[in-house]
């Protein structure tokens, strides 16, 4: 398993709120939350790099949500207006698009549905082992409720792990199958029991973890990302730190596209507040006729894609050269009939369905199905590649039927 995935311990930098002083206390306290008690990791004050750099040292003292003080111009030709605020070590500065409404969030529910709307509150409270933390919503990045907040799920996982050591063989087998079916999200919770005093329970835990490690590597190879982990406490990410604890608010009132809704935290997989406008996934069908050859023109789907978006395409149908029933191709191309030729730096079989975001300067060979992440922004367009000496010489009948789904990247 890759070290960047499931074997990494989770840290939380917790800021202790003063009970007597309004606002934030200057007393910062670190907390280490290892899932493997055998690991010893030095305690140090850390904060979350909001730009993807991991955990970085917190500047000493002051309000954890305070903006950096502006730099003061020195001598020479440096102008005061040109001075830039100092950046914390490890953080790369770049401009970010501000949200239209700071309380606008996307809520993913346990049933797979997504709610977009505005939270009714301006701040959230988190109980931690260091005291209660108050987080302004406009500094929030995300909330991921833990197993203890999901009605019945945490208890169910605990019971199944207990059943791995039951006297009844059928109970042990059933528990192992159900835990295995739950998949990678329970990896960290299950790992805590790999040295259980009950030898049978420990043996079965190790077996399940072995299966999960294979799945974890496959998942990261597929899209470079790790699957979400279920841990006991709630995880609250802000633009300054990550806190583990219990979110005090057990229900969230949201002005959504469906009206005002009250959503219990037990139904929530994740709440995300982005600094960019949210976009809904797009699903569309499209027909690409045999006349849409890549050397002549691409057919626009009308679907706008941003860099990082996930694109999933499936295609069926066939085309054939006019007057011939043997010169036929499906979306994956037919090299034996139409040859293989170079286009945009790739070897492409004739009849292959292509996709592009830049008018053909760079192409993706779609074939019958393709799932990939967009490397640039643009409008998704499609065409059929054909051997150059056939273009303009023959007509092609038939068509490919496409189903397109674009999911916005985070």
Q: What is the pLDDT of residue 61?
A: 47
Per-residue CA distances from 12 to 65, 234, 268, 294, 388 (Å):
16, 11, 21, 52, 59
d(CA 55, CA 370) in angstroms, rounded, equals: 35
Q: What is the pLDDT of residue 218?
A: 56
Q: What is the pLDDT of residue 353?
A: 97
**N-to-C CA span, the chain:** 24
Q: What is the pLDDT of residue 279?
A: 66
| Three-class SS state of 387 | coil
Question: Hey, what long-range contacts does 215-219 have (CB within 8 A, 24 or more apart)?
Answer: 215/183, 215/184, 216/1, 216/2, 216/5, 216/6, 216/184, 216/187, 217/1, 217/2, 219/184
DSSP annotation string for 113-176: -EEEEEES-SEEEEEETTEEEEEEGGGEEEEE--GGGSTTHHHHHHHHHHHTT-SSHHHHHHHH
Q: Which domains does the chain have, with CATH numbers?
A: 10-67+101-146+233-272 (no CATH), 153-223 (1.25.10), 282-407 (2.60.120.430)
With beta carbons less than 8 A apart as the criterion, state whether 385 and 354 touch.
Answer: yes
pTM of the model: 0.42
Q: What is the pLDDT of residue 282?
A: 87
| CB-count exposure of residue 279 (10 Å: 0-12, 13-18, 19+) | middle
Q: What is the pLDDT of residue 53?
A: 40
**10-residue mean pLDDT series, the chain (410 residues):** 38 36 37 37 39 43 51 45 45 42 85 86 92 91 86 78 91 89 79 88 89 67 51 86 91 89 89 68 92 93 88 95 91 94 93 93 94 92 94 93 87
Q: What is the pLDDT of residue 231?
A: 79
Q: What is the pLDDT of residue 167?
A: 92
Q: What is the pLDDT of residue 228?
A: 60
């Amino acid at each position: 398993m890759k070290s960047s995935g499931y074997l990494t311990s989770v840290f939380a930098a917790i800021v202790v709120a003063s009970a007597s002083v309004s606002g934030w206390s200057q007393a910062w306290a670190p907390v280490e939350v290892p899932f493997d008690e055998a690991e010893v990791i030095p305690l140090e004050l850390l904060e979350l790099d909001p730009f993807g750099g991991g955990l970085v040292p917190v500047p000493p003292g002051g309000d954890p949500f305070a903006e950096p003080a502006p730099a003061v111009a020195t001598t020479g030709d440096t102008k005061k207006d040109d001075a830039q605020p100092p950046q914390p070590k490890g953080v790369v500065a770049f401009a970010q698009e501000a949200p239209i409404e700071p309380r606008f969030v996307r809520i993913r529910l346990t049933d797979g549905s997504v709610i977009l709307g505005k939270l009714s509150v301006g701040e959230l409270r988190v109980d931690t082992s260091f005291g209660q933390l108050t987080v302004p919503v406009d500094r929030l990045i995300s909330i991921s409720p833990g197993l203890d907040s999901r009605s019945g799920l945490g208890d169910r996982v605990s019971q199944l792990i207990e059943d791995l050591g039951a006297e009844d063989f059928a109970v042990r087998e059933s528990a192992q199958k159900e835990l295995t079916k739950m998949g990678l999200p329970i990896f960290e919770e299950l790992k805590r029991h790999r040295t259980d005093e009950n030898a049978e329970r420990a043996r079965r835990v190790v077996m399940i973890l072995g299966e999960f490690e294979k799945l974890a590597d496959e998942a990261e190879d597929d899209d470079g990302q790790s699957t979400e982990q279920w841990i006991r406490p709630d995880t609250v990410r802000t633009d300054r730190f990550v806190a583990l604890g219990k979110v005090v608010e057990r229900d969230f009132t949201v002005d959504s596209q469906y009206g005002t809704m009250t959503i219990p935290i037990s139904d929530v997989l994740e709440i995300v507040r982005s600094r960019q406008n949210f976009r809904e996934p797009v699903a569309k069908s499209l027909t690409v006729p045999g006349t849409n050859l890549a050397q002549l023109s691409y057919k626009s789907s009308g679907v706008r894609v941003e860099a990082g978006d996930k694109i999933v395409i499936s295609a069926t149908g066939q085309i054939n050269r006019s007057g011939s029933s043997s010169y036929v191709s499906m979306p994956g191309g037919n090299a034996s009939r139409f040859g293989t030729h170079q286009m945009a730096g790739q070897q492409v079989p004739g009849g292959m369905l292509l996709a592009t975001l830049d008018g053909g300067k760079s192409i993706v060979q779609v074939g019958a199905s393709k799932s990939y992440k967009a490397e640039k922004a643009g409008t998704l367009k499609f065409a059929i590649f054909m051997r150059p000496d056939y273009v303009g010489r023959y007509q092609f009948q038939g068509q490919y039927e496409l189903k397109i789904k674009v999911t916005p990247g985070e």
